[in-house]
Structure 1
Amino acid sequence: MTTPYPNAVLDDKDLQEKLAAINPKYGPWVTRVAGEVWGLPLLDQKTKALIALTTDVVNQSPLGGSGSAFAAHVHIAMAQGASREEIEELFLFLTVYAGFNKMVGCFAALNDLLDAKS
């Protein structure tokens, strides 16, 4: 497990490179704006990462592929100390509030993402 970053966006150079690869103007802009909100002091980085995953679920962001926001937020959550079990518990919790049908794809995408690393 890696050491959590003080700021999951501004301190993760790999994430910044991936964002810049999407578009050279988009990446640095997202880094600045997201880095600012990730730098706010009251919520810890792990909590923010789990909230970001929640938005992916509710918005049904594209779940597949290593370049998806969902994959990035899973990576960020785990880098900030969240375990697979905590993410799975979050998904169980969200099943009640976001809907059973939405969560099926989220569990499948999580399995694909994390089992591919094994």
Structure 2
Amino acid sequence: MQHEKEESRMQAHRHRKGLEVLDDMMGANGQMAYEQMRKLHPDFAEILIGLFGDFYSRPVLDKKQKALVTLTTLITQGALPQLRLHTNTALNAGLTADEITEAAIQCIPYVGFPTVTNALQVMQEVIHSRSMSE
């Protein structure tokens, strides 16, 4: 019984930490992303939010570095819906439009022009929409 209570407390702490990190990195988009994950499946959302907090709260890389790693990984996977969300996150973390674009260009030799072209289209849409709203 005591073990179950401790495990429940630890899960609640991971959940809170994940939501804090999500809010810090993504702002309003974070809550929207969390709700979308919950619609897919509540357990999926809980697992993902805990992992998000675990990884993004690690101390060695700063927010910009973490965002850059995330962008390049999503570009190489061709994960365009997630790239849209994380391009916003990268801007929130302080990356400039030029840095985001350059990250995509650096992926060309590894994943090819078609993949990077698709990624750049998504990234530029986000950058443009953000610049229009500011």
Do both proteins adopt the same fold according to a TM-score greater than 0.5, normalized to the shorter chain? yes
Q: Which residue of 2 aligns with 1:60?
A: 78
Structure 2 residue corresponding to 1:110, chosen from 108, 112, 123: 123
Contact preservation (8 Å) 1:88, 1:107: yes
Matched, 1:48 2:66: yes
How many residues align structurally? 107
Q: CA deviation at 1:116?
A: 3.5
Q: CA deviation at 1:69?
A: 1.1
> Given the two structures, how large is their TM-score scaled by the length of structure 2?
0.68
Contact preservation (8 Å) 2:75, 2:115: yes
Unaligned runs of 5+ in 2: 1-19
Q: Map 1:30-41; keep pairs closer than 5 Å.
A: 30-41=48-59
Q: Decide which structure has greater helix share.
A: 2
The CA RMSD measured in Å over matched residues stands at 2.1
Tell me how far apart the structure 1 counterparts of residues 60 and 116 of structure 2 sit (CA, whole Å): 29
Identity percentage of aligned residues = 22
Unaligned runs of 5+ in 1: 1-6
CA 8–85 in structure 1, closer or farther in 2 if over 3 Å, else same:
farther
AA at the equivalent of 1:23 = H
> Given the two structures, how large is their TM-score scaled by the length of structure 1?
0.76
SS of residue in 2 equivalent to 1:9: helix
Structure 1 residue corresponding to 2:47, chosen from 25, 29, 49: 29
Structure 1 residue corresponding to 2:103, chosen from 75, 90, 95: 90
Higher-Rg member (1/2): 2
CA 81–95 in structure 1, closer or farther in 2 if over 3 Å, else same:
same
Tell me how far apart the structure 2 counterparts of residues 88 and 21 of structure 1 sit (CA, whole Å): 32
Structure 2 residue corresponding to 1:100, chosen from 91, 100, 113: 113
Contact preservation (8 Å) 1:50, 1:87: yes
Contact preservation (8 Å) 2:75, 2:116: yes
Q: Map 1:63-74; keep pairs closer than 5 Å.
A: 63=80, 68-74=81-87
Q: CA deviation at 1:33?
A: 0.9
Structure 2 residue corresponding to 1:20, chosen from 38, 41, 57: 38
